[in-house]
């Protein structure tokens, strides 16, 4: 059954969105986190442990708990990886390390069917189109509803933000602070003046562009601070981190 992209509609209405990573391959965690009320979940296949089948299972579990938007970060800007993730039914896709407008155009083309893209059509096999039952509706709404996110993770990418954001189909530019700092050989040195300046340059360029502005954040305080800076979308937690923090906090406060 066709469903509009709630996250995209929320952002287009000028609202902020808080999302959670799914780093594990657990459907139970997906269902639990979805029930908490996040605006979106991001299944991570760049660093996470899941397979395409576990991603489908997580999608089903999450949607049993809420109408949350389900996104996936693919391992790389690869036509086949993007096609298979979208055929599985994801509501949006995040592509890591997009450095140029040419790379952004390739990502968008991999997401879309002809005539606006090059995505291969296997409607009877694809969960996205109801295994053929809702293929026409899916195709008719795909370009409008699919959320395409390009990650800005290098100094080169920051220099090309204006042209990347101008690519038709790119909805959001998402700053990856770790790899961005690593691209100038100062990995995770977030207090370094050069790292701060590069992050702020990326932030300000994206704010001035047509694209939504996304990033990661850590905890409620930093998330609120970044929303106040103009960020539209923040991945502010992860399933594995939430579990680890809760377990650690409990044990730290036990009196044995």
User: Could you tell me if 130 and 1 are in contact, meaning their C-beta atoms sit under 8 angstroms apart?
Assistant: yes
Indicate which residues carry an active-site annotation: 47
Cα–Cα dist 233/226, whole Å:
9
Residues in contact with 137: Cβ distance below 8 Å, sequence separation at least 6, in sequence order? 2, 129
């Amino acid at each position: 059954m066709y469903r509009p992209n709630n996250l995209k509609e929320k952002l287009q209405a000028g609202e902020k969105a808080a999302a959670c990573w799914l780093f594990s391959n657990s459907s139970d965690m997906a269902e639990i986190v979805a029930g908490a009320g996040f605006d979106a979940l991001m299944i991570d296949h760049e660093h996470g442990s899941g397979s395409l089948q576990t991603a489908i299972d997580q999608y089903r579990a999450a949607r049993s708990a809420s109408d949350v938007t389900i996104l996936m970060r693919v391992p790389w800007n690869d036509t086949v990886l993007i096609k298979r993730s979208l055929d599985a039914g994801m509501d949006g896709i995040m592509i890591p390390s997009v450095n140029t407008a040419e790379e952004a155009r390739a990502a968008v083309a991999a997401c879309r069917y002809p005539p606006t893209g090059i995505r291969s059509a296997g409607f009877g096999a694809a969960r996205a189109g109801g295994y053929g039952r809702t293929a026409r509706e899916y195709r008719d709404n795909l370009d409008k509803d699919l959320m395409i996110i390009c990650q800005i993770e290098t100094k080169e990418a920051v220099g090309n933000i204006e042209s990347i954001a101008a690519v038709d189909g790119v909805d959001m530019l998402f700053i990856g602070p770790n790899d961005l700092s690593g691209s100038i050989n100062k990995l995770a040195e977030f207090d370094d003046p050069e790292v701060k300046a590069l992050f702020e340059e990326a932030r300000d360029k994206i704010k001035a562009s047509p694209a939504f502005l996304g990033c990661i954040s850590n905890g409620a305080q930093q998330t609120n601070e970044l929303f106040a800076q103009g960020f539209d979308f923040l991945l502010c937690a992860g399933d594995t981190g939430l579990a680890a923090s809760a377990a650690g906090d409990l044990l730290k406060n036990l009196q044995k």
